Amino acid sequence: MNEELRQLHARVESESVFVQTILTEIGNIIVGQTYVLERLLIGVLTGGHLLLEGVPGLAKTLAIKTLAQCVDVNFKRIQFTPDLLPADVVGTLIYNPAKQEFIPKLGPIFSNFVLADEINRAPAKVQSALLEAMQEKQVTIGDTTYALVEPFLVLATQNPIEQEGTYPLPEAQVDRFLMKLKVSYPTREEEKVIIERMSVATLPTVQKVAGPLDIMKARNTLSGLYIDEKVKDYILDIVYATREPEKFGLADLKPMILYGASVRASLSLVSAAKAHAFIRHRGYVTPEDVKAIGKDVLRHRVLPSFEAQAEGIDSDAIIERIFSEIEVP
């Protein structure tokens, strides 16, 4: 390890301390779910939006709300429903009779952390309004464009089992999410702790242990984390294997993949792997960082074909096969 990399490593070790403090504080309320909590922090550190999918009652909303309570930022929750309008999200112009002019009333999207609860229950017009905010970090109301305040993050949830009254998210919007997380049931031991913790008269609380400056400083450090050329090539091999699997000895996957991962997938793998290394207090990215976050970054970007679905093969199975076959540097 050369001197420059040693200094970077020491800097990351110092600046990443607040990450563990946040995880410890969230642990006062959320039992287990280390996988989800770490990936929520990866979203915060990279500024990448997250989509959480899981059946009701798995503390998806609670985890996001608790994270917002630990960080001194503005937080808004939007409950997505079929009758929601774009103005309910981004805001609108209201006529002021006294001044005889229209004045802007900014919507809940003008917050640092925005929880889009059951995002797939809102129609396409609402999704398109949210899309500009997610991609451009700005909102247009009337003829005026307003920049959103950093750090800005959309944390969305969706229910995978109840599809009545839902709208499939446009592929362009799904691709804007850094990661798609699958939230699973807690273990028996964890659920027992949940029962004991939540059945008391006074529920546990959390303290604010970090602020926007900590996040923005970490993001600046994150961009400078060292990633070796071999790791970059490993990322490209994985992404290209979703597009041209036959070139990587995976010809049998060709009919299973309708669309491979986009260029945004490569960028997301790099940024998420850097954030994973940062959480591990390292100043450099390893192939293990890429493997740890790979499925979450790719599962919504690799679309299985009808043939794959007929055989019960989903995107996770395809991605697992690719990771198992691509040589690790």
pTM given for the model: 0.87
Per DSSP bridges, beta strands 113-117 and 153-158 are parallel
- Could you please report the per-residue DSSP string of 156-184? EEE-SS--TT--PPPHHHHTTEEEEEE--
* Whether residue 151 has a cis bond before it, omega within 30° of 0: yes
In the chain the domains, ranked by start, together with CATH numbers, are 3-217 (3.40.50.300), 226-325 (1.10.8.80)
pLDDT at residue number 231: 95
pLDDT at residue number 163: 61
pLDDT mean across residues, the chain: 86
**In degrees rounded to 5, what are phi and psi of residue 124?**
-60, -35
Question: What is the rounded distance in angstroms from the CA atom of residue 219 to the CA atom of residue 206?
Answer: 24
Distances (CA, A) of 95 to 85, 98, 102, 139, 238: 19, 9, 4, 19, 53
Q: Tokens 């550190």 appear where?
A: 45
Residues lower than pLDDT 70 in the chain:
1, 161-165, 201
pLDDT at residue number 161: 64
Amino acid present at 143: D
Residue pair 127/169 in contact (Cβ under 8 Å)? The answer is yes
pLDDT at residue number 214: 87
| Closest to 278 (Cα-Cα) out of 19, 66, 6 | 19
Residue pair 227/270 in contact (Cβ under 8 Å)? The answer is yes
Q: Quickly list H helices, the chain.
A: 3-15, 17-26, 34-46, 60-70, 86-90, 124-136, 171-174, 188-198, 212-223, 229-243, 263-279, 287-298, 306-310, 315-325
CB-side exposure of 300: number of CA atoms within 13 Å? 26
Distance of CA 125 to the CA centre of its chain: 22
Q: ∠322-328-329 over CA atoms, to 5°? A: 145
Question: What is the rounded distance in angstroms from the CA atom of residue 255 to the CA atom of residue 233?
Answer: 25
Q: Which residues of 199-225 are buried (b: 16+ CB within 10 A; e: fewer)?
A: eeeeeeebeebbeeebbeebbebbeeb
User: 89: buried, middle or exposed (CB in 10 Å: 19+, 13-18, 0-12)?
Assistant: buried
Residue pair 35/75 in contact (Cβ under 8 Å)? The answer is no
Q: ∠306-311-312 over CA atoms, to 5°? A: 95
Query: In a 3-state reduction of DSSP, which class is residue 308?
Result: helix
The H or E element that residue 102 is part of is strand 101-106
Q: Identify the sign of the CA torsion 187, 197, 52, 266.
A: negative
